[in-house]
Amino acid sequence: MQFTFTEEQEEFRRYLRRFLDAKSPAVEVRRLMETEDGYDPAVWRQLCTDLGLPAVQIPETYGGQGFGFVELGIALEEMGRALLCAPYFASAVLASNAILNAGTEEQKRELLPPLAAGEVVATLALAEESGRWDSAGIAMTATRTGSGYTLDGVKSFVLDGHTAGLIVVAARRAGTVGDAGLSLFTVDAEAPGLNRRLLRSADATRKLARLEFSGVPAGLLGKEGAAAAPLAKTLDQAAVCLASEMVGGAEHLRESALEYVQMRMQFGRPIASFQAIKHKSAELLLDVELAKSAAYYAAQAADDDADDLPAVASLAKACAADAYTRTAIEAVQMHGGIGFTWDNDTHLWFKRAKSSEVFLGTPAYHRELMMQRWNG
Amino acid sequence: MSEPTEGSVRQESRNWLEANWDPDLSLVEWRNRLVDSGWGAPTWPVAWHGRGLSDPLGRVVEAEMDRIGAVGVARTGIRNLAAATILVHGTDMHKEKFLRRILTGEDTWCQLFSEPGCGSDLAGATTRADFRGNKWIVNGQKVWTTSAHHAQYGLLLARTDWDAPKHQGLSFFIIDIEQPGVDVQPLRQMNGHASFNQVFFTDAEIAPEFILSETGNGWAVATTTLMHERRGADSLRRYAKASNRPGRVYEEEAAEIAIQLEPYKWYPQRAGRVDLVIERAKATGAFDDPAVRQEIAKLLTLSRAAEWTARRARAMQDRGGPQGPEGSLGKLAASNVARMAARVHTLIAGADAMLAGPDGALDGVIAEVLVSVPAVSIAGGTDEIQKNIISERVLKMPKEPRSDTKGPFRDVPRNTVG
Ligand SMILES: Cc1cc2nc3c(=O)[nH]c(=O)nc-3n(C[C@H](O)[C@H](O)[C@H](O)COP(=O)(O)OP(=O)(O)OC[C@H]3O[C@@H](n4cnc5c(N)ncnc54)[C@H](O)[C@@H]3O)c2cc1C
């Protein structure tokens, strides 16, 4: 297990941070969160062509850069810090990894290059109205037709589901439950019978959609009925990636609160000189650093496809979510009244913290998973 | 000579150990042999029993020792702090006289810093050393002094000038504990053990050459000791365990552990025994309680994350990088882990948490955890002091306004306990 980054990785981080500082300042986040698409196509193109970001962990044979989850983690940490509005998590993390884990060799060669190049934006439609993030929550049915399949049911909380061009969908053979009978499918966003609606979300920087399927033609991804394992792995990898994103956001909040308290004067001195504020700042530093360590360890475990990945992925997700929400609450507190205004930027990250807390499963859910998976 | 590499260090130390390790030597004979070779303290300077190796290479040597089951130099307790302080501030005479016997375990040390009137505010020390008739004469009282009842020597912070400002009137001495005028009284802790003491000085003498650094420079020296103490906090987890292998060295080591390390025998308990949590939860059936499972998961998360944070800090240091914030957080993290562990052990034990000794779980070990963890958040600097240090030194937040640093110390308001 590596506990530091290489010079190349550090350089990648610095480069990305400069790019995001320029392209995703808070004013831009505010502008994009009010739009329906929720991202700037020009920035997305640059992110894909100049930086090759959606290709990071995709192997070179499928048009990717062949790096791993450590590099993907760096990218997400920086995006979380900048609160970048882009369909990156949906396409580069959820959909790409689902295809990598479940697809046949031929499907990977066909589907991944356009995703790696950013020409196609994809997403994964997993959760339904129950809001569960596991196989037991999947009710959508897949029916075999002459040459392919059709899907019926409703998917919800689909990240960037209203704009994605390609949708990876989890569905089951009618009459099956749990891990049995689960398959993954690919669906073209223009397919007949598919109705997509943008949901109004508390965190306007993270776009969620509801997708209704009635007899939508779909292509099988990988083997029929064998999706449980690749899906579980995709979710573990996604939890690790989300942990990195949250750590970046938490660090941003921690730093911005620190900057504010150093400037703000009350009782004739900077509020940063009050011990109550200093101790809170030290605690936040500890929280965020611990969450960082967990996210870094988990990213390496994902790269190694380590035996403890399932437990560690849940650990990292729960740890980062708790650190992020706590930092968000304290950051508003340290800003005082101004922190509760729309004009102050803190609430943008606060809302992302709240949506990340439940996205892919709450901390309590992940702690329970972790206990089931723990063997150390 | 070429630069040592992981491979060369492993090979060389392995060759040496294979030729020299002998479990039938006496403990002191073996450790002397080890100290002569430089493999006992490989990261120390070559001139002083070491090989000047980096920390990661030092760990390679440690792994070789473990592999062959060889007993290492004496490490536990305040010896390490004494050695680190002497290596930085000591004269050649100090190094000659003390370092080897620290490594062989022949001398135990104690840290005579805290007083009834000052713990967090160490620079408020009022134990006095006055220069009279060619020697220093010490009078006053220290308290909470771990191991003083086993120690030959103490690191002593005492006031030598009452007219200088608080931090400039202190000096740092090495004092022989077993001399007349030094009275060590055991002090019982809330967990029933008596590993710390009160130490009274009545005209105890110190020869002038046993001052470290210069008169009035004691605060700077104490800072070195404290830095090592805080940094070492996470290595407390490595506690001495007697091996029951046959051989004179092992037998004598077991005896050493029984006597000299006696003050540390509850140290694993003060760290919260996270290692016992799952085992205990399964044994009591609490493992199936969803509320308990949540708390166990939180504890495991915290303790793993703390461990990985320490590894990050170490990895950064090994690469010669700048000290990041991870390094300063260890002690604070350790006390959070200990506190949470005690809470989880209580949940798991339920009503049994009220029982101690043979009536309690694991023959009282769990009860001992419950009443030992407050030590972590007090000893070596309280959580509050750690937070002050982190906020001021790492986060660069403004210092506390203070009213005690200017003017002669004799005019500064202070405790009158004692
Ligand atoms: C198990 C154990 C072993 C020990 N071993 C040794 C030893 O070997 N040698 C030795 O010299 N000492 C030893 N000590 C003493 C220890 O270093 C002190 O107890 C500790 O530094 C706290 O000092 P105090 O007890 O005087 O508490 P105080 O300083 O009186 O503190 C009381 C409370 O006030 C808080 N406080 C104090 N100052 C501030 C501040 N500036 N800001 C905010 N809060 C503050 C503290 O955090 C604490 O909560 C040991 C203590 C224990 C528990």
Mutational test site, ligand 1, from B108, B126, B229, B382, max ligand atoms within 8 Å of CB: B382
Paired tokens of A344: 């102050």
pLDDT score, position B237: 41
For the CA of B383, the closest atom of ligand 1 is 47
Give the position of tokens 């690749």: A230
Looking at residues A281-299, what average pLDDT do you find? 98
| Cβ proximity of B171 and B220 under 8 Å | no
Residues of chain B found within 8 Å of residue A374, distances taken between Cβ atoms: 278, 297, 300
pLDDT in tens, B361-379: 999 999 999 999 999 999 9
Q: Residue A285 and residue B306: Cβ atoms within 8 Å?
A: no
Q: Residue B395 and residue A286: Cβ atoms within 8 Å?
A: no
A83 min Cα distance to partner chain B (Å): 24
Rounded-to-integer distance, Cα A304 and Cα A6, Å: 17
Would an 8 Å CB–CB cutoff place B402 in contact with chain A?
A: no
Rounded-to-integer distance, Cα B354 and Cα B347, Å: 12
Using left for φ > 0, alpha for ψ between -120 and 50, and beta otherwise, residue B320 falls in: left
For the CA of B118, the closest atom of ligand 1 is 26
Would an 8 Å CB–CB cutoff place B298 in contact with chain A?
A: yes
The reply to whether ipTM tops 0.90 is yes
Q: What is the dihedral of CA B105, B38, B313, B317, to 10 degrees?
A: 150
Give the position of tokens 């040597």: B61
For the CA of B381, the closest atom of ligand 1 is 21
> Which candidate, A326, A292, A321, A297, places its Cα nearest to that of A309?
A297
Would an 8 Å CB–CB cutoff place B294 in contact with chain A?
A: yes
Would an 8 Å CB–CB cutoff place B365 in contact with chain A?
A: no
Cβ neighbours for B326, distance < 8 A, ≥ 6 positions apart? A289, A293, B309, B310, B312, B313, B316
Neighbours of B168 (CB within 10 A): 16
Would an 8 Å CB–CB cutoff place B384 in contact with chain A?
A: yes
Q: Residue A371 and residue B296: Cβ atoms within 8 Å?
A: yes
pLDDT score, position B234: 43
Q: Given B305, B397, B400, which is nearest A293 (Cβ)?
A: B305
Q: In this structure, which long-range contacts are made by residues B46-49, counting pairs with CB atoms below 8 Å and at least 24 apart in sequence?
A: B48/B87, B48/B95, B48/B99, B49/B99, B49/B100, B49/B103
Q: Residue A294 and residue B304: Cβ atoms within 8 Å?
A: yes
Q: Which residues pair with B139 in a beta bridge?
A: B128
What share of chain A has pLDDT > 90, as a percent?
98
Which of A 287-346 lie inside 8 A of B, CB atoms?
A: 289-294, 296-297, 315, 318-319
pLDDT in tens, A20-72: 999 999 999 999 999 999 999 999 999 999 999 999 999 999 999 999 999 99
Query: Is the Cβ atom of B111 under 6 angstroms away from ligand 1?
Result: yes
Tell me, in angstroms, the distance from the centre of ligand 1 to residue B173's CA.
Answer: 21
Tell me which chain A residue has its CA closest to the CA of residue B313: A3
Rounded-to-integer distance, Cα A89 and Cα A360, Å: 12
B211 min Cα distance to partner chain A (Å): 36
| Cβ proximity of B87 and B41 under 8 Å | no
Tell me which chain A residue has its CA closest to the CA of residue B329: A286
pLDDT in tens, B97-129: 999 999 999 999 999 999 999 999 999 999 999
Query: Is the Cβ atom of B378 under 6 angstroms away from ligand 1?
Result: yes
Tell me, in angstroms, the distance from the centre of ligand 1 to residue A230's CA.
Answer: 53
> Which candidate, A326, A321, A345, places its Cα nearest to that of A284?
A326
Looking at residues A190-204, what average pLDDT do you find? 97
Query: Is the Cβ atom of B384 under 6 angstroms away from ligand 1?
Result: yes
pLDDT in tens, A5-28: 999 999 999 999 999 999 999 999
Residues of chain A found within 8 Å of residue B298, distances taken between Cβ atoms: 367
> Which candidate, A102, A125, A99, places its Cα nearest to that of A113?
A99
Point out the residues of chain B with pLDDT beneath 70. 1, 232-242, 417-418
**In terms of pLDDT, which residue wins out, B319 or A298?**
A298
A313 min Cα distance to partner chain B (Å): 11
Rounded-to-integer distance, Cα A2 and Cα B314, Å: 11
